[in-house]
Amino acid sequence: MGAPPGYRPSAWVHLLHQLPRADFQLRPVPSGFAPQEQEYQQALLLVAALAGLGLGLSLIFIAVYLIRFCCCRPPEPPGAKSPPPGGGCVTWSCIAALLVGCAGIGIGFYGNSETSDGVSQLSSALLHANHTLSAIDHLVSETVERLGEAVRTELTTLEEVLAPRTELVAAARGARREAEAVARQLQELAFWRGVPLSPLQVAEDVSFVEEYRWLAYVLLLLLELLVCLFTLLGLAKQSKWLVIVMTVMSLLVLVLSWGSMGLEAATAVGLSDFCSSPDTYILNLTQEETGLSSDILSYYFLCNQAVSNPFQQRLTLSQRALANIHSQLQGLEREAVPQFPSAQKPLLSLEETLNATEGNFHQLVALLHCRGLHKDYGAALRGLCEDALEGLLFLLLFSLLSAGALATALCSLPRAWALFPPSDDYDDTDDDDPFNPQESKRFVQWQSSI
């Protein structure tokens, strides 16, 4: 099948599409996009479950590490004031992990923006396609209504005026039949009329879901940014309560990061399967939802020389009928007006209607050509399969960096706050305050020296 203009599956699509898939019984599953099949759904759920497995292993590792740290560390000698060896390395490793997390947050913001841009391009293409289909429907309705009005009024009046000349009445009736034939042919060109699937509704639904997805990721990114910044602040000020609160928050963000990673991985794999060969699935789905013939859908989705225009015959017949009407009206104007001057007014009105109909007909020919709708189809695929997929991969990288950084921080933070001096609770107390324990101790020493 011919690819839409400007769209070719990217290297990431090919790479993700080649990944092996299996259902819950670990049986191989074909990589073709088939979301309605249970085996394929299980394969995507298994991809998402890998993130749950990673979360479980991370929590087990953190728990084992902290239990070993709390229960197996050697007792400190009484009166020891110097920090145990390796304390500075623990603190700096925690800071480095948090800085990596901050870098991942920047990647996440970029990926969120790219995904939003891709979905916006998809919505714009759907809206433009809806505008084209609405314009076809409007032009057909306007032209048919105008032809019907001309048949009911001008041609009826012309037949009454030309009643004494039977051959002229026959010519007028011939023009009537041709006009009615054109109206019938044109009505069949509004192929999207009455179709339950609306591109406008699809675009609105996609934009609605994308708005909340974008907002959810922004909140997640801001939450992790605040956790990283306040954790760094707690380490800098050696504030034990702040570090403890941020440790709990880091555990929450760690769970959210692994959850988002599973969702992103399953979505990226499914999207790569769709983007590797989208035409077949889109054709079958659209035919199922709209009930349109495969000839019409293939013409617009494929738009190549192997698929002929399904409206070509109707357009040719309409064009010939319009040409016949035009020649019949010119013949009536030459022969009838000299004998029946009152026939000139309906003839002029019919000429105006015919000219307007021909103008609308040429617009319909341009709109019905597959080039416009196929271009929208290609733009939608580029937005979904290039920008949106690239953004998903950056979000996946963000989740991976975030999970690794937070897991490292959760292992390092308890060891870091154990190194804080015991005067942590009085860091913010004025040195000249007599109620400060350190100042009171110095005051007693001064009295004893006197």
Cβ pair 380, 126 in contact under 8 A: yes
**Spatial separation of the C-alpha atoms in residues 294 and 286, rounded to whole Å:** 9
Lowest pLDDT segment from 112-116, 237-241, 407-411: 237-241
Give me 138's structure tokens. Answer: 């409007």
Contact partners, residue 352, CB within 8 Å, separation at least 6:
none
Whole-number Cα distances in Å, 110 to 100, 123, 406: 16, 20, 20
Show Cβ contacts of residue 232 under 8 Å, excluding neighbours closer than 6 positions: 95, 98
User: What one-letter code names the amino acid at 263?
Assistant: L
Q: At what angle do helices 199-237 and 389-418 cross, to 10 degrees?
A: 20
Q: Residue 371: CB partners within 8 Å, gap ≥ 6?
A: 303
Interatomic CA distance for residues 9 and 241, integer angstroms: 52
The residue with greater pLDDT, 330 or 271, is 271
pLDDT in tens, 337-368: 888 888 888 888 888 888 898 999 999 999 99
pLDDT of residue 297: 92
What does residue 28 show for φ and ψ, rounded to 5 degrees? -60, 145
Interval 419-434 mean pLDDT: 52
Q: So what's the pLDDT on residue 212? A: 96
* Burial of 392 (C-beta count, 10 Å sphere; 0-12/13-18/19+): buried
Confidence band, pLDDT 50/70/90 cuts, at residue 429: very low
**Residue 22's beta-bridge partner residues?**
28
- Whether 197 shows a pLDDT value over 80: the answer reads yes
Given pLDDT bands bounded at 50, 70 and 90, which one contains residue 435?
very low
Residue 219 structure tokens: 């909140």
Tell me the whole-structure pTM to 2 decimals.
0.84
